[in-house]
Structure 1
Amino acid sequence: MIRLEDILKDIIRALGFLSRIPFPGRFFAGHDGSMRRTSGAFAIAGALIALPPALLLGLLLHLGVKPELSALLALALQIGLTGGLHEDGLADCADGLGGGRTRERALEIMKDSRLGAYGGLALILSLGLRTEALAGLAPHGPVAAGLAMVAVNAAARAAMVWHWSALAPARVGGVAAAVGQPSGSAVIVALSSGLLIYGVATIHAYGWGVALAGALAAMLASWLLARLVRGKIQGHTGDTLGASEQICEIALYVALVITT
């Protein structure tokens, strides 16, 4: 029987893994660091992480601040809360997949902390596309723009869990391998909760058609990235997990703004 206390612990542990938000040590006491079950709470954690940036975005837009600046400040807060965890993964993944001719070389580059041209370009495009897309949602009102941030962050974390479960670890001693593969039930919980949060928020703000277009774009982008990663390095790493979250965010924001 699943207890409410266990659900709360999973959510807080997921927040601890995905963000820099501090939590009391009692929630992690006796926990071995495994994400097999905790990953099921990633979508809910993503929505909670997005709440402060979404509120900031809505407030700035309500006060008449320019949409581009409002969106950039909201994304800056989001990056601050996560410590740039997913952006770092995107940059390393882009450097490895773009610069590594062989599987071994790609993994070696991804492990290197230095930023290369591919990684730099990926970061610029990610921040630029998300900022412009969020600013493009501003005409629908502060509430709708804020709901988009919550919906997209929940769905993107769910997509990350899917990517994690769909591919085997590329490195036996990697971070992603060390914390374990998500269990089947965790994948189902993450995908269903992510879809529920995304669906409720986007349908309320933009309607069924827009919500469906965003979901299809996210699924296609996630599948294409997984296919590329499987072909290049034959498995996931912590960096490809971060990249999958970022790719899904970009696909969702762009699809939402194009179809509204």
Structure 2
Amino acid sequence: MDIREFGGDIVRAVAFLSRIPVSARFFEGRDGSMRRLAGAFPAAGLVIAVPAALLLFVTLSFGADPLLAAFLGLTLQTLVTGALHEDGLADSADGLGGGRNRDHALDIMKDSRIGAYGVIALVLSFGLRAAAVAALARLEEPLTVALVWIATAGLSRAAMVWHWHRLPSARTAGVAASAGVPDDGARTTALITGIASFVLLTLTLHSTGAILFGLLVAVLLTLVFTRHACSRIGGHTGDTIGATQQIAEIGVLCALALAG
């Protein structure tokens, strides 16, 4: 692997996955394909999570209520990402939950309006993540909680790359279809980066068994959701890719809180 090229991919992935401004020079001569770029998504996730992790660390260090600190972190994280993955979760919940058949589900997911399933999914996403982070903050030091936040961001984006690679595109047109499917090398890089960074950054947890439990939950939830998407719509969409990230992140944070 060319380290300089991978570094450039991380910068481009940060631009794709967030609202962090990136110089146009990083995109010169690029065709917009995600076949290789997706391999840098977990590393980009680590970078994107840093501002919210710092806010979480500072607020907890100054004695803020853990639940308030968690919601403040989620607020900043949502601003940084532009709610990219939350939007995918809401659309996927509406389509997969309310669609009568494959075509109806895809039509619902394409609709910009949000329905009852989407609202419920968003409430549960923010509520469960905030509660899990708050529970961790009552057990662990502020620095450990901040590192867990960053680690989970990387691992959950590895999960979305695996989902993306595993399924064909459910549509012949659309953002996900035009971007292409991550190649085998990108998938492997994403998984290695996401898992390795998660293990290394969570080593300060009091319960080492929590690390394995978190990984297991991420794998199971990603497999179950991927299979469900395949059975309902026959493949992935940009929305299911984002939903995978959210589902993995929620699951890992809850698992670590429960295991702690």
Q: Aligned residue for 1:35?
A: 34
How far did residue 30 of structure 1 move? 1.0
> TM-score by structure 2 length?
0.98
Q: State the partner residue of 1:74.
A: 73
State the match for 1:246 in structure 2: 246
Q: Identity across aligned pairs (percent)?
A: 50
Give the equivalent residue in structure 2 for 1:229: 229
Residue of structure 2 in register with 1:93 after alignment:
92
Q: Which runs of no fewer than 5 residues in structure 2 stay unpaired?
A: none
Q: Which residue of 1 aligns with 2:130?
A: 131
Indicate conservation of the 8 Å contact 1:144/1:206, yes or no.
no
Tell whether 2:49 aligns with 1:50. Answer: yes
C-alpha offsets along residues 143-182 of structure 1, whole Å, 9 cap, x if unaligned? 1110110110000000000000010000010211111100
Residue in structure 1 matched with residue 151 of structure 2 by the alignment = 151
Cα pair 2:155 2:198 within 8 Å, conserved: yes
Offset, 1:5: 2.5
User: What is the rounded CA distance, in whole Å, between the counterparts of 2:259 and 2:148 in structure 1?
Assistant: 13
Determine the C-alpha separation between the residues in 2 that align with 1:168 and 1:69. Answer: 40
RMSD: 0.8
Contact 1:203 1:210 (C-alpha < 8 Å) held by counterparts = no
Q: How many residues align?
A: 259
Deviations 1:179-230 (A, max 9, x none): 1100100000000000010001112334431100000011111011001101
Q: Secondary structure at the match of 1:35?
A: coil
Instruction: Write the deviation string for residues 94-142 of structure 1: whole angstroms up to 9, x where unpaired.
Output: 0000110100000000000000000000000000000000001112110
Q: Deviations over 1:17-42 (max 9, x none)?
A: 10010011000111111111110001
- Cα contact 1:218–1:251 (8 A) shared by 2: yes
Distance 2:235 2:3 in 1: 34
Residue 82 of structure 1 aligns to which amino acid in structure 2? T
Moved over 4 A (4+): none
Cα distance in 1 for partners of 2:84, 2:255 equals 24
Match of 2:74, as an amino acid?
L
Unaligned runs of 5+ in 1: none
Counterpart of 2:181 in structure 1: which amino acid? Q
Using the TM superposition, give the Cα deviation of residue 9 of structure 1 relative to its aligned residue in structure 2, in angstroms: 1.1
Paired amino acid for 2:41? F
Distance in 2 of aligned mates of 1:208 and 1:258 = 13
Distance 2:125 2:2 in 1: 39
